[in-house]
């Protein structure tokens, strides 16, 4: 009910505040027999680490994950996995001057309205730090998907108004912004430097591809695969829009342009983004998300304090200029979690009299 659990079969509950003792994730429903070590998880966490891209702040965050339960002799047991990351570099004091002020673009106001109390230290539960737990859980889902030859990756499609013009996916690993266009990446870095000087921040667009999904993932009505992906991606704090396949462009096309013709060799295009009527069709799954600019900026802004008096605020400290590229592994994690959940649900429906003759029990 309280919204900290994701998924129906592969169920993940994240917990922890940015300035508490630890953050973590508990996964219930992971099948037994999957080889899993902290290294599989650490690899994804490291990609989320500050310093990965030019847009990120210098804050040190080692983010070492430990597995507290659910593993026996190197394999999952089918019992709950608890992943924990202890908080180390938390300066609560540096937030004290913010405790009576509502930061524009943050959840300060809406949280206080909802709960009547508010943990002002770095945003508490609303902090982007919570996403480290998602990335850890997503890495377990990714491990499960890898045994089904499903691969999920995300990349920077646009940043600060500069769009990738080539989609050369080799290039993604050649620049700090995970952009499939090295030349555009260079201009994005320049834009970041310029905006940093102004004390401002930037938004962008992340593209996501899942290759290898079998047809049949997704449920027909409310839990369509695209619906669950949209909910999953929009649950990332900075995301303000989600598209599947041709997305908003579809609004401007005709049916004959947007329909993907079938041929004996398969679909001739992929405007559907790999999902027809909410169910995967075996083509790559394609999504894009709009990422808003980081709301914490050092430029002066108008806001009010708890007494509803007008005040000016400048947010100092270590803040990223853009949620990109650190949001990239978070996007991947949410897609991995959604696909893992639907992959395991799929099994459920395969239980037909016919399949029985294969003597599955």
In the complex, minimum distance from the CB of residue 71 to a second copy, in angstroms, rounded to a whole number:
8
- How far apart CA 187 and CA 184 sit, in angstroms, is 5
Helix axes 328-349, 225-234, angle to 10 degrees: 150
Query: Which of residues 170 and 253 has its CB atom nearest to a second copy in the complex?
Result: 253
- Residues 188 and 182 sit within 8 Å (Cβ to Cβ): no
Query: Which of residues 10 and 153 has its CB atom nearest to a second copy in the complex?
Result: 10
Contacts of 320 (CB under 8 A, 6+ apart): 50, 55, 56, 57, 201, 294, 326
In the complex, minimum distance from the CB of residue 62 to a second copy, in angstroms, rounded to a whole number:
18
In the complex, minimum distance from the CB of residue 59 to a second copy, in angstroms, rounded to a whole number:
18
Other CB atoms within a 10 A radius of the CB of residue 348 amount to 9
Query: Which of residues 170 and 191 has its CB atom nearest to a second copy in the complex?
Result: 191
In the complex, minimum distance from the CB of residue 89 to a second copy, in angstroms, rounded to a whole number:
17
SS3 162: strand
- How far apart CA 334 and CA 345 sit, in angstroms, is 17
Query: Which of residues 170 and 225 has its CB atom nearest to a second copy in the complex?
Result: 225
In the complex, minimum distance from the CB of residue 198 to a second copy, in angstroms, rounded to a whole number:
8
- How far apart CA 318 and CA 296 sit, in angstroms, is 10
- How far apart CA 206 and CA 210 sit, in angstroms, is 13
Longest dimension (CA), the chain: 73
Query: Which of residues 4 and 170 has its CB atom nearest to a second copy in the complex?
Result: 4
In the complex, minimum distance from the CB of residue 86 to a second copy, in angstroms, rounded to a whole number:
9
Strands (E), 7-74: 11-15, 22-28, 65-69, 71-72
Query: Which of residues 44 and 218 has its CB atom nearest to a second copy in the complex?
Result: 218
């Amino acid at each position: 009910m309280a919204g900290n659990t994701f998924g129906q079969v592969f169920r993940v509950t994240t917990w922890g505040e940015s300035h508490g003792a630890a953050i973590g994730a508990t996964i219930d429903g992971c099948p037994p027999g999957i080889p899993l070590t902290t290294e599989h998880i650490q690899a994804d966490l490291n990609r989320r680490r500050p310093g990965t891209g030019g847009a990120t702040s210098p804050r040190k965050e080692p983010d070492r994950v430990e597995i507290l339960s659910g593993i026996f002799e190197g394999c999952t047991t089918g019992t709950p996995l608890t992943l924990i990351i202890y908080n180390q570099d938390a300066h609560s004091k540096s937030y004290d001057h913010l405790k009576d002020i509502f930061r524009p673009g943050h959840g300060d106001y809406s949280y206080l309205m909802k709960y009547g109390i508010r943990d002002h230290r770095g945003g508490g539960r609303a902090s982007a730090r919570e996403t480290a737990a998602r990335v850890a859980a997503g890495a377990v889902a990714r491990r499960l998907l890898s045994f089904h030859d499903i691969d999920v990756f995300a990349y920077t499609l646009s940043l600060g108004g500069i769009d990738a013009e080539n989609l050369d996916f080799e290039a993604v690993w050649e620049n700090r912004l995970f952009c499939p266009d090295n030349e555009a990446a260079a201009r994005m870095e320049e834009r970041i430097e310029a905006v940093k000087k102004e004390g401002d921040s930037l938004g962008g667009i992340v593209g996501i591809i899942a290759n290898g999904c079998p047809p049949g993932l997704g449920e027909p009505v409310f839990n369509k695969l695209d619906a669950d992906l949209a909910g999953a991606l929009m649950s990332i704090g900075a995301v303000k829009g989600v598209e599947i396949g041709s997305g908003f462009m579809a609004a401007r096309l005709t049916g004959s342009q947007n329909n993907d013709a079938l041929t004996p060799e398969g679909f001739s295009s992929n405007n559907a983004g790999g999902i027809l009527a909410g169910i995967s069709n075996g083509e790559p799954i394609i999504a894009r998300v709009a990422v808003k600019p980081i709301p914490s900026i050092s430029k002066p802004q108008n806001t009010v304090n708890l007494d509803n008096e007008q005040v000016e605020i400048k947010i100092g400290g270590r803040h990223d200029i853009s949620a990109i590229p650190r949001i990239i592994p978070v996007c991947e994690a949410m897609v991995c979690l959604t696909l893992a959940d639907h992959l395991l649900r799929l099994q459920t429906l395969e239980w037909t009299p016919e399949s029985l003759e294969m003597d599955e029990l």
